[in-house]
Amino acid sequence: MSVASQDNAMKTGRAARVFIYVFLLVFALFYLLPFFIMLVNSVKPLSEITGGNMIALPQVWTLEPWLGAWSTAQIGVEPTGLRPYFWNSIKMVVPAVVICTAIGALNGYILTKWRFRGDTLIFGLMLFSCFIPFQIVLIPMARILGILEISGTTTGLVLVHVVYGIGFSTLYFRNYYAAFPTELVRAAQIDGAGFFQIFYRILMPSSGPITVVCVIWLFTNIWNDFLFGASFASGGAAPMTVALNNLVNSSTGVREYNVHFAGAIMAALPTLLVYIVAGRYFVRGLMAGSVKG
Amino acid sequence: MGFLDIKQATKSYGSVEVLHGVDIAVEEGEFLVLVGPSGCGKSTLLNMIAGLEDITTGEIAIKGQRMNGVHPSKRNIAMVFQSYALYPNMTVGQNITFGLEMHGTPKADRDKAMGEVAELLQITPLLGRKPGQLSGGQRQRVAMGRALVRNPDVFLFDEPLSNLDAKLRVDMRTEIKKLHQRLGTTIVYVTHDQIEAMTLSTRIAVMNGGYVQQLGTPKEIYDNPANVFVASFMGSPSMNLMEGVVRMQGAEAAVEIAGSSGVPVLLPVNVAAQRLDGQTVLLGIRPEALTDPDGADKNARRIVTLSNVVDVTEPAGSDTFFTTTLAGKDTIGRMRADAVAVPGQVAQMAINMDKAVLFDPTSGDRIR
């Protein structure tokens, strides 16, 4: 959006400028406040939090809560920390995102450049899958995972997320490729390039922005998913979100708020990182897709 | 049996037939232009030759080989697209050699072929650039280079000049013609621009509504149009068409039309038209056949001079176009730039009736 607003920016007076900055600053602070509290409390000893002042900066700085949350905290009954679950999430999210993006790109390519009878109907059905609420599929999905003998495993979760993600990735790539000149595909056909060669050599190199959009969207959604993780992979294969819940809800001993805060930040960091690294392309890709499509 | 044979080719989308039994035989080395207004089926026909669209019925053969169902890359054709269709992620050099690479030509041969083509088209300094960094004319050359490097049997051009500005278009037109003369390749060229069609082609197929209206050399098409559509589509300004009545003058036929003052003018025609005596016909006269008496063709056998009111003059530098009223309609003529014509006054005009053509007013077909 920043790109568009810069283009149509109007000349404003000094007073208006000041007002705008103050207004924006207040809201930025308002939204950053929870994160500030999490961050501050994750580097405090527990005694300072229970002592009452959550908003103050720590008197004693410590990384102890972070180390605890990572490797020794009680998750359910095991004192493993979040570490194994973090890797569970990585093992779930990376294959799911890669598979979804690859299939979505291929679907988009076929639906726009290799039109066939009933292609719009198929696209409509795939689009429909984006709007099916998660809760509806829980029981049928559990049954299917059971039949495939991958229930309770990371592989099972990857399958679930791929099935749900393909609808979105197809939508993204189809709209992006709809604006891609068909004459290029025809030229490549005459040049003798085959189905996959056209895809790899002609379309893929131009798909950077939409791939970034798709990856960010899928990564965030799959990483943050709790329902599927809790339903299909509780126990040793649980993803980060479920483990965080178990950490916060464990009923043994004292509630270590500083450890909880550290764990929560850890669970949020990968998505935050993806945004910071690729966020610029996200906006660019969204614009490209929406304007041309 | 031609080099490229199109026999009774039709194209249907569902139940709608957009091309109706097209028959064209192109000889080796010919430059065939398909010309017509948008939606006449010319691009569809080109895509069918290229293999990008299926042939519904009929047959297309190149060098005697039936091409129905053959993949575009196996037809040994090359195509230049309207948008040039250069691969944006590849350099000029990669664009040119992509087809060779796909056909498994070794790298050394590819580079050699690329060098020759780049030399021919004078794009050697551009080989390392991306298409986005090129001007329209340069992209056009690269697109032609990509076609030339394959050394195909038939070149297909799909309105290749329509994205260029007017001056560049004329330059590239000359360049394409030079290239054709030098290489002697067979070319099928689609355009909606009748001047491009006239200047480039060795033969023209004028198309309308999915039919080939006329197939012939530029001169045949221009001087002997088969029907009203061809007559009015080819030529700029287009042919004047006026209604008149055939009157026999002894053995000679003449067409009677109304002059500007309502006085009838008798125009003798070179058509054996006894059978048409008293009938209404459409008389077609090209602007250059309606001129000042000194500018008229001295070798013409039937020159009719008349006095008529000049309505508007449009000096174009080399000639002066003028509008006068004949048969109750605005009629455009073309006189020498030095000839004197004042709007609103009567001037002497000469009509070269050797060049006049007659059409049936209901069917639009030529009366010979």
Would A173 be classed as within a structural domain? Answer: yes
**CATH number for the domain harbouring residue A85:** 1.10.3720.10
For B85, the closest of A187, A192, A205 (CB atoms) is: A187
Q: What letter does residue A72 receive in the DSSP assignment?
A: I
Please state whether beta strands B203-208 and B31-35 pair in parallel, antiparallel, or not at all (unpaired): parallel
Would A293 be classed as within a structural domain? Answer: no
Name every residue whose Cβ is closer than 8 Å to that of residue B184 and which is 6 or more positions away in sequence.
B29
* Domain match, A31 and A171 both: no
Q: Which two tokens stand for residue A216?
A: 């960010």
- A106-127 tens-digit pLDDT: 998 998 888 888 888 888 888 8
Q: Which two tokens stand for residue A143?
A: 């049954």
**What is chain A's alpha carbon radius of gyration, rounded to the nearest angstrom?**
23
Amino acid A9: pLDDT: 59
Side-chain-side CA neighbours of B115 within 13 Å: the count stands at 6
Answer whether B52 sits within 8 Å of A193, measured CB to CB: no
Question: DSSP states of B281-331 as a string?
Answer: EEEEE-GGGEE-GGGS-TT-S-EEEEEEEEEEEEE-SSEEEEEEEETTEEE
For A190, the closest of B79, B83, B88 (CB atoms) is: B79
* Domain match, A65 and A81 both: no
Residues of chain B with pLDDT > 70, as a percent, come to 99
A51, A70, A89: which is the final residue of a domain? A70
- B331-342 tens-digit pLDDT: 999 998 888 888
**ipTM of predicted assembly, 2 dp:** 0.76
Answer whether A202 sits within 8 Å of B89, measured CB to CB: yes
* Domain match, A7 and A90 both: no
Name the pTM for this structure.
Answer: 0.77
Would you mind telling me the total number of residues written for chain A in this entry?
293
Residues of chain A with pLDDT > 70, as a percent, come to 89
Can you tell me which residue has the tokens 């109007």? A10
- B99-152 tens-digit pLDDT: 888 888 888 888 888 888 888 888 888 888 888 888 888 888 888 888 888 888
Q: How far apart are CA B234 and CA B226, in angstroms?
A: 11
* Domain match, A31 and A106 both: no
For residue A290, pLDDT beyond 70: no
Would A52 be classed as within a structural domain? Answer: yes
A70, A97, A128: which is the final residue of a domain? A70
Q: State chain B's maximal CA–CA distance in angstroms.
A: 78
Shortest alpha-carbon distance between residue B197 and chain A (Å): 23
Note whether A247 contacts B: Cβ–Cβ < 8 A: no
- Would you call the peptide bond into B237 cis, given omega within 30 degrees of 0 as the criterion? yes
Q: How far apart are CA B26 and CA B51, in angstroms?
A: 17
Q: Is there a contact between A219 and A272 (Cβ–Cβ < 8 Å)?
A: no
Q: Which domain holds residue A204?
A: 74-288
